[in-house]
């Protein structure tokens, strides 16, 4: 076992063991396991936490994005073949959601300072059929939402958020990830800042029509049992996961703050000229450090550091080693050049980041990187 694991899920959930057991027992004893009391309570609690009117629990983060886009099409706001602007360095799920419903993903390069979609690149990517922006708060950092919102409004574009990595990220005025656009998708995959013990997801929106449509589409296209108005899917948040997430939600801000403390130590104590550290936002709450990503100056140097840290007993990962346009599934869909995404894929490295990391483990990581 690694001396410093990348993420220890058992330790992450250990502080909540008793409350999780009680929540699970309550679900079993209730006799209702899909879209029941716990799902309703968690939907209400998470919507209130994020400052939006409506929340709909779904099966996972990819389904959340797919259902948002499907709902927008059913409501006549998007049409097959419309173009959606997405980051060129995002996790593949963002792109999959767009193409799964017959829309066309158009890649936008990120800022090398924030790793998020660069608002300055939006104009160049916009075309005659561009209808929406799908902004991704990558690694837990809020995008430049003021500029992106302004661009969307100026160009009459819909704005959606992929908030799968940004639970609790907030601007200085309190606006939270998931509250900026027409709708937002969240994932509660076990490794997330707010993680379930299985797959789970959520759609947030202030639009009742989108909320109702997503709820119907995720329930076989049915608004009433056995009456199928739409060609839907089965994507529902089950009671067990909802109860566990409801139990963990009150601790999210505290765990995010611990992540920020670790990030501050990394940024102030890592002293190695080979390593490029991430930019800390002027408003610390805008970043919840789902992962902490450093960058090297070459692929060779990145790989050497990863191997060195592995030899030191420190686990690392790469988010992400292959950008969407280089994936085999999209081999014939993107004709542009995306040098920033390609460079990042070759040079980024994610080092351990978890609210249950000890100060000693953080010091181990810092010391090893400085020794490299």
pLDDT at 37 over 70: yes
- C-alpha span between 192 and 201 (Å, rounded): 11
CA distances from 3 to 6, 176, 210, 357, 368 (A): 10, 35, 47, 11, 12
The pLDDT value recorded for residue 23 is 87
Helix (H) or strand (E) segment spanning residue 85: strand 83-87
pLDDT at 143 over 70: yes
What is the pTM for the complete model shown? 0.97
As a whole number, the mean pLDDT across the chain is 97
Its CATH class, for the domain covering 9-108+115-249, is alpha beta
Whether residue 214 contacts residue 208, with contact meaning beta carbons closer than 8 Å, is answered with no
Model confidence band, residue 245 (pLDDT cutoffs 50, 70, 90): very high
pLDDT at 1 over 70: no
* 277 contact partners, CB below 8 Å, separation of at least 6: 266, 267, 270, 294
The pLDDT value recorded for residue 108 is 98
The pLDDT value recorded for residue 20 is 87
The pLDDT value recorded for residue 247 is 95
Location of each CATH 3.40.640.10 domain in the chain: 9-108+115-249
pLDDT at 360 over 70: yes
The pLDDT value recorded for residue 28 is 93
DSSP secondary structure letters along 198-259: S--EEEEES-HHHHHHHHHHTBTTEEETTEE-S---B---BHHHHHHHHHHGGGHHHHHHHH
What does the pLDDT average to over 126-149? 98
Model confidence band, residue 19 (pLDDT cutoffs 50, 70, 90): confident
Per-residue model confidence as pLDDT tens digits over 67-122: 999 999 999 999 999 999 999 999 999 999 999 999 999 999 999 999 999 999 99
DSSP code of residue 12: H
The torsion angles phi and psi of 217, rounded to 5 degrees, stand at -60, -35
pLDDT at 226 over 90: yes
Location of each CATH 3.90.1150.10 domain in the chain: 251-371
- C-alpha span between 305 and 288 (Å, rounded): 25
CA distances from 372 to 74, 274, 299, 308, 362 (A): 54, 9, 15, 7, 16
- C-alpha span between 301 and 61 (Å, rounded): 33
Q: What kind of fold does domain 251-371 have according to CATH?
A: 3.90.1150
Whether residue 207 contacts residue 199, with contact meaning beta carbons closer than 8 Å, is answered with no
């Amino acid at each position: 076992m690694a001396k410093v694991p990348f993420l220890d899920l058992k330790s992450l959930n250990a502080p909540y063991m008793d409350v999780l057991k009680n929540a699970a027992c309550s679900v079993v004893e209730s006799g209702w396991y899909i879209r029941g009391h716990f799902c309703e309570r968690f939907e209400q609690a998470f919507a209130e936490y994020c400052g939006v009117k409506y929340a709909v629990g779904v099966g996972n983060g990819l389904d959340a994005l797919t259902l948002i886009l499907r709902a927008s099409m059913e409501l006549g706001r998007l049409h097959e073949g419309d173009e959606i602007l997405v980051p060129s360095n995002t996790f593949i799920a963002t792109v999959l959601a767009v193409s799964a419903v017959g829309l066309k993903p158009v890649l936008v390069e990120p800022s090398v300072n924030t790793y998020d979609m660069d608002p300055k690149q939006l104009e160049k990517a916009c075309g005659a059929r561009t209808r929406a922006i799908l902004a991704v708060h990558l690694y837990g950092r809020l995008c430049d939402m003021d500029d992106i919102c302004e661009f969307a409004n100026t160009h009459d574009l819909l704005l959606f958020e992929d908030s799968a990595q940004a639970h609790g990220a907030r601007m200085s005025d309190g606006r939270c990830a998931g509250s900026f656009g027409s709708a937002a998708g969240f994932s509660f995959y076990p490794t997330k800042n707010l993680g379930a013990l299985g797959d789970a997801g959520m759609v947030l929106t202030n639009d009742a029509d989108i909320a109702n449509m997503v709820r119907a589409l995720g329930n076989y296209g049915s608004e009433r049992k056995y009456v199928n108005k739409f060609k839907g899917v089965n994507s529902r948040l089950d009671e067990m996961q909802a109860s566990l997430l409801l139990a963990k939600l009150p601790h999210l801000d505290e765990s995010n703050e611990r992540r920020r403390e670790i990030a501050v130590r990394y940024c102030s104590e890592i002293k190695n000229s080979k390593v490029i550290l991430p930019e800390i936002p002027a408003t610390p709450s805008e970043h919840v450090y789902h992962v902490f990503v450093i960058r090297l100056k070459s692929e060779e140097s990145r790989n050497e550091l990863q191997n060195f840290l592995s030899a030191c007993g420190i686990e690392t990962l790469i988010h992400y080693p292959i950008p969407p346009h280089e994936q085999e599934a999209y081999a014939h869909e993107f004709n542009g050049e995306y040098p920033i995404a390609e460079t990042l894929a070759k040079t980024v490295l994610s080092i351990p980041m978890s609210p249950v990391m000890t100060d000693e483990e953080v010091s181990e990581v810092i010391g090893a990187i400085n020794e490299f």
